[in-house]
Structure 1
Amino acid sequence: MKKVLYTALGLTLLGGIGAFLFAWSGLYSVAASKPHWAITEWFLHFGLRKSVETHAIPVEAPPLDEQAMIYRGLGHYEGACAPCHGAPGEAGNPVAKHMLPIPPHLPDKAAEWTDSQLFWIVKHGLKYTGMPAWIAQERDDEVWSVVAFVRRMPDMQPEEYRRVARNDTIHDPEMAEQNAALIAAAGPTGADLVACARCHGLRGEGGGAGAFPRLAGQKPEYLYETLKAYALGTRPSGIMQPIAAELGDAELRRLADHYAAMTPDTKAPEPGDAPDPETLKLGETIASQGLPGEGVPACASCHTTGQGNAGRGDAGQADAGQANAPENALYPDLRGQYAAFLIQQLDLWKAGKRHGTAYSEIMAAAARPLTPEQIRAVSRYYASLPPAGPRSP
C-alpha cells in the first residue's frame, strides 16, 4: 500500500510540474481568436453547468408574471444585456461574437436553465466568461426582474420588444419636433436624457405598468440627491448605479432640473383595476393619521398628502397638526406616483434594503410594521391623488 501511495503521489507531483512548465512556456494560446481545444471546451462547459446547478439548488423562485417586474427587467436588459446576448429579432453586437466563450443568444438559450439557475447566474456572474456579478448584491428584487423578462423574452415578438425597450414616446412622429426641442434644451446632457427616457420618458411620465416612477414635477433637490446616491452606491441598485455613476455632478443637476420642470401627465391611467373604496379609505388613514397602535406614523408628517402639505381627515379636511408642516426638499412628493413603484419601495424599506439618505432609519422604522395589505392600500391611495408639478429648478 505504501508503494502504491508513493507512486500515486509521485505521478501527481510530476503531473503538476509538467502542467506548470507547460503554462510557463507560454505555448498555450490565450487569444480569444483561437478556439479552445475540444476537450478543454467540454470540460469548461461541463464544470460551469454543474457548478450553477449545485449552487442554485437552495434558490426558491417567486412568481415571475407581474407585468411591472417584466418591464423593469426589460429596461435593464436593453441597455446592459442585449449588446452581448441579443434580443427578440436582434443578434446582438458583432463584437460579442468574437468573445471566447461567445455569449449565448438568450432568446434561444434561456429555456436551457431553470428560473433559480438564471437568478444565480445573473446575481453572481460567471468566471472566465465576461459575465459580471450584480452590482447591488442585496437587490434580489432587481435580479428577479431580469429573470422574469428573460423567461418572457422567447415569446415576445420583435415589434413588442422594440416598442417597450425604445419607448415609443421618444420616437413618436407626431411629437418629433417637441422631442427634438426637449433634447436640444438639455444641452450637453441630451444623450443622457435619451438614455433616461428609455424607462422614465423624455417628460418623466414613467410607466411600464408602474415599473418606472413618474419623475415629472418631482422636487429637483430630491431628484439630484437620489441620482447622487445611486452614483455613489449608497442607494443600492444594479440598474441605476451603472447609469448614474457615469455622470458628473453638473449632469446630475441638469437632469434633475429637467424632470422637475416637466408637467406631469394627469391623464395617464394607473395600471391595474381601480381600487375599492375600503382600500382607499385604509390608505388615506395611514397617510393622514398613521396607525399609532402599530407604531406607524402618518405619512403626512413628512410627505405631501392631498392639498398643500396637509393630511386629509375623514371629511377631507386638513389635519390641524399638519396644515403648517414645512415642505422638506429631500422628501419625495408621492402624489400621483404609480402604485406598483410605491409598493416596491415600501417592501424594500420594510426588508431593510433601501438606504442611502439621512432619513433611511425613519422610513425603515415606519415601513417595518406595515402588512402587505396596508402597503398596497397606502400606495393605491397616493396613486389616486393628482400629481404635483411642475417645479422650478
Structure 2
Amino acid sequence: MRRRNGINALRRLAGLALALLLGHGGTALAATDAAPAANDMAQRVAACIACHGRVGATSNAGYFPRLSGKPAGYLFNQLRSFRDGRRFNADMTYMVQHLSDAYLMEMATYFAGLDLPYPPVSPASDATPAQLARGRQLALEGDAARRIPACVQCHGAALTGVQPAIPGLLGLPRLYVSSQLGAWLTRERHALAPDCMAEIGQRMSTADVNAVASWLAVQPMPADPRPVAALPAPLPMACGGMPGK
C-alpha cells in the first residue's frame, strides 16, 4: 500500500510538472515562442525539485539523480531521449512529450547553471571489500581483457564530468547508478548513436555493475566538483553525445 501511494504521489507531481512546463493554464509553449525569463523558468521547473531535489539525493537508498551543475548538453540529451523514446520512464515521458528542443535546452541550461554545494556523502556501504576493490578497478583502470575502458577515461580524472555532454559520476545514489548501468546491460536504455555506453554496459556483468556503483557512491566530492572543460586525451570510443570526439 505504501509503495502504491508513493507511485500515485509521483504521478500527481508529474501532472503538476507538465502543467508548469507547458505554461500556466495548460497552454502549450510553442517552439517559436520567446524563451522564458530566468525567474519564470525557476518557477516552471519547480516541480522537478519535488523528486530530484535541489542538490540531489546522497543516501544509498535514494534513486533520483542530482540535476544541478550537470553539463547542459548532457541534460538536454537526456530530456530529448525521454521525449523521443530512447529512455523509458512514464513520468518523465509524460512531462516532456510535448516540449520543443528549444524549451528543453532552456530547462537544461537553467539546471546546468545552478552552483549549489554537494551534501556530505555517507561512507557507509554494505558492499564487501572485494566488491569495492573491483569497483575501484573498473572506475580507475577498466578491464582491458573485456574491452571495458576506465570510467575516468570518459568522465574525467576526478569523475566530475566533461563539457559539453558527459555527466559526473560522483554524488549520485548507488541505486540510480546501478539501475542505469543495468538498463544498458539489458538493452533497455539507449542514447544517441553511436551508443558507447550501451557497448560498455553490455560487456559488464551484474557483479561489475553492482561493484562500480557501490564504489562510486561512497567517494567524496573533490574540492572543485564542476565538469572539466576537456579531456587530456581522445575518448576511447566514439560517443553520439559528444560529436567529433
TM-score, length-scaled by structure 2: 0.69
**1:377 paired residue number:** 211
Q: Is the 8 A contact 1:227 1:252 kept in 2?
A: yes
Determine if contact 2:146/2:203 at 8 Å carries over to the other structure.
Answer: yes
**Structure with greater contact order relative to length (CA < 8 Å, sep ≥ 6):** 2
Contact 2:72 2:108 in 1 (8 A): yes
Structure 2 letter corresponding to 1:205? G
Give the Cα separation in 1 of the matches to 2:4 and 2:217.
21
1:298 aligns with 2:150: yes
1:76 equivalent to 2:37? Answer no
Which has the larger share of helix?
1
> Hey, which bits of structure 1, 4+ residues long, moved more than 6 A?
69-72
Picking from 219, 224, 230, the partner of 2:76 is 224
> CA separation of 1:231/1:70 partners in 2, compared to 1, >3 Å: closer, same or farther?
same
Q: 1:206 to 1:250 in 2, by over 3 A?
A: farther
Amino acid at match of 1:76: L
**Equivalence for 2:226:** 389
In structure 2, what is the Cα distance between the partners aligned to 1:258 and 1:373? 36
Secondary structure at 1:365 match in 2 = helix
Q: Which amino acid aligns with 1:341?
A: Y
Offset from partner CA, 1:211-234 (integer Å, 9 cap, x none): 100112211111112112222223
Conservation of the 8 A alpha-carbon contact between 2:73 and 2:108 = yes
- 1:352 matched to 2:206? The reply is no
Question: Mapping of 1:196-235 within 5 angstroms?
Answer: 196-201=48-53, 203-206=54-57, 209-235=61-87
Unaligned runs of 5+ residues in structure 1 are: 1-64, 83-183, 310-326
Per-residue Cα deviation, 1:287-340 (whole angstroms, up to 9, x for no partner): 12211223322222212243787xxxxxxxxxxxxxxxxx45222211222211
What is the CA distance between 1:185 and its match in structure 2?
7.2
Contact 1:338 1:383 (C-alpha < 8 Å) held by counterparts? yes
- Which residue of structure 2 aligns with residue 329 of structure 1? 164
Per the TM alignment, residue 80 of structure 1 is displaced from its structure 2 partner at its CA by 5.3
Question: Any conservation in 2 of the 1:204–1:214 contact (CA below 8 Å)?
Answer: yes
Instruction: Work out which of the residue numbers 93, 97, 103 in structure 2 matches 1:251.
Output: 103
1:338 equivalent in structure 2 = 173
RMSD (Å), alpha carbons = 3.5
Q: How many residues align?
A: 206
> Identity of paired residues, percent?
27
Deviation at 1:270, TM superposition (A): 4.7
Match of 1:195 in 2: 47
Give the distance between the partners of 2:79 and 2:124, measured in 1 at CA: 29
Q: Relative to structure 1, is the Cα distance of residues 80 and 252 closer, same or farther in structure 2, using a 3 angstrom cutoff?
A: closer
Structure 2: which amino acid aligns with 1:363? M
Q: Distance in 1 between matches of 2:5 and 2:163?
A: 32
Aligned-partner residue type, residue 331 of structure 1: I
Matches within 5 A, 1:253-272: 253-270=105-122
Q: Which amino acid aligns with 1:215?
A: L
State the TM-score, normalizing by the size of structure 1. Answer: 0.45
Letter in 2 for 1:216: S
Question: Hey, what does 1:163 align to over in structure 2?
Answer: none
Equivalent of 1:281 in 107, 127, 133:
133
Q: In structure 2, do the counterparts of structure 1 residues 242 and 365 end up closer, same or farther at CA, with 3 Å as the change threshold?
A: same
Within-5 A mapping of 1:26-65 = none
1:166 paired residue number:
none
